[in-house]
């Protein structure tokens, strides 16, 4: 088994100057494609179960799926809860075999966010797994606006929450469908100046590829969450498969036609983050 914790893979990434892909999963077909992509690239991967994934599949089932995939490849695989919003949800993920918990208290006041995140980080560490937290708020392309991470808040959060990795808001946006705009590198450097914790970018699909590559190899950003660009690749491949044979109805046949293109897209995404 190559099951790993978030700390395991991010410590290695920081030392070797690359970032790990936190690939957002929705079901078995895509998470299997991501594991195969990581194996093909020889890179670790973080398989992430976010709210959309958990909407249709219970955490105990997801934990078994992730662990089964970890057994099937030789590269490190992290079973990661993405955007856990309650202590109870995080505890269920821990009990279900996840090796990393991300508690999202970013909508809370700073002191409350630190206190609740610290409680979950302590629970995770007692169990020998990792914890990620978020300071500042990363908005959504079709809804809530972002609130940038203040360096002094980041310093307090990193010092007092006990997390192994810290997600920050530096111009990144969830669900962005293009690579326009870019991250605020001055804010990133200001945060790096006051803390040495591994940093995480949510909404990595919207980061220009050249900047994503440069920051992965030249900053303390050790994890980029990538979901939207892979969902788009899945949708494109699915439409093509259906158009090629409009009479096709069997789910297994359809998804088998989609998987190779999803593996290719995931390999490309991981390659932008890997070491030179």
Its domain, for residue 78, covers: 3-271
Does the pLDDT of residue 1 top 80, yes or no? no
What percentage of residues in the chain have a pLDDT greater than 90?
82
pLDDT band at 149 (very low <50, low <70, confident <90, very high): confident
Q: Are 43 and 20 in contact (CB under 8 A)?
A: yes
Does the pLDDT of residue 169 top 70, yes or no? yes
Examine residue 122 and state whether it is found in any structural domain, yes or no.
yes
Indicate the helix (H) or strand (E) that contains 253.
helix 251-271
The strand pair at 130-135 and 165-168 is best described as parallel
The pLDDT value recorded for residue 205 is: 84
CATH code: domain of residue 190: 3.20.20.70
| Residues belonging to the active site | 82
What pTM does this model have?
0.94
pLDDT tens per residue, range 115-125: 999 999 999 99
Q: Are 87 and 119 in contact (CB under 8 A)?
A: yes
Q: From residue 252, how far is each of 56, 129, 145, 257 by CA, in Å?
A: 19, 35, 39, 9
Per-residue burial over 178-200, b = 16 or more CB atoms within 10 Å of its CB, e = otherwise:
eeeeebbeebbebbbeebebbbb
Examine residue 94 and state whether it is found in any structural domain, yes or no.
yes
Query: Distance between CA atoms of 61 and 271, rounded to whole angstroms?
Result: 29
Examine residue 276 and state whether it is found in any structural domain, yes or no.
no
Backbone φ/ψ region at 196: left (φ over 0), alpha (ψ -120 to 50), beta: alpha
pLDDT tens per residue, range 20-32: 999 999 999 999 9
Examine residue 199 and state whether it is found in any structural domain, yes or no.
yes
Query: Distance between CA atoms of 269 and 212, rounded to whole angstroms?
Result: 10
Query: Distance between CA atoms of 170 and 2, rounded to whole angstroms?
Result: 32
Contacts of 2 (CB under 8 A, 6+ apart): 70, 71, 73, 74, 75, 76, 77
Examine residue 153 and state whether it is found in any structural domain, yes or no.
yes
pLDDT tens per residue, range 37-91: 999 999 999 999 999 999 999 999 999 999 999 999 999 999 999 999 999 999 9
Query: Distance between CA atoms of 221 and 19, rounded to whole angstroms?
Result: 7
pLDDT tens per residue, range 175-216: 666 666 789 899 999 999 999 999 999 988 889 999 999 999
C-alpha of 211 from chain center = 18
Number of domains in the chain: 1
The pLDDT value recorded for residue 146 is: 67
Examine residue 123 and state whether it is found in any structural domain, yes or no.
yes
Examine residue 263 and state whether it is found in any structural domain, yes or no.
yes
The helix/strand/coil state of 212 is: helix
Examine residue 198 and state whether it is found in any structural domain, yes or no.
yes
């Amino acid at each position: 088994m190559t099951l790993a914790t978030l700390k395991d893979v991010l410590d290695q990434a920081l030392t070797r100057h690359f970032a790990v892909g936190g690939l957002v999963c929705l079901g078995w077909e895509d998470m299997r494609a991501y594991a195969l992509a990581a194996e093909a690239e020889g890179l670790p991967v973080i398989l992430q179960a976010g709210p959309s994934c958990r909407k249709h599949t219970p955490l105990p089932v997801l934990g078994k799926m992730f662990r089964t995939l970890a057994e099937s490849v030789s590269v490190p695989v992290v079973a990661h809860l993405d955007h856990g919003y309650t202590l109870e949800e995080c505890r269920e993920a821990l009990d279900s075999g996840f090796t990393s918990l991300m508690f999202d208290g970013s909508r809370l006041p700073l002191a409350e966010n630190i206190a609740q995140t610290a409680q979950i980080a302590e629970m995770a560490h007692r169990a020998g797994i990792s914890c990620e937290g978020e300071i500042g708020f990363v908005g959504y392309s079709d809804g809530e606006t972002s609130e940038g991470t203040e360096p002094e808040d980041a310093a307090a959060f990193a010092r007092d929450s006990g997390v192994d990795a810290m997600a920050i808001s530096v111009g990144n946006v969830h669900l962005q469908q293009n690579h326009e705009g870019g991250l605020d590198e001055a804010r990133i450097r200001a945060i790096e100046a006051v803390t040495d914790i591994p940093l995480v970018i949510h909404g990595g699909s919207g980061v220009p590829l050249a900047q994503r590559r440069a920051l992965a190899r030249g900053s303390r950003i050790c994890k980029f969450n990538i979901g939207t660009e892979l969902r788009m690749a899945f949708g494109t491949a699915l439409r093509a498969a259906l158009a090629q044979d409009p009479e096709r109805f069997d789910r297994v046949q359809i998804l088998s036609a989609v998987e190779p293109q999803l593996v290719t897209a995931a390999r490309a995404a991981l390659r932008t983050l890997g070491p030179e």
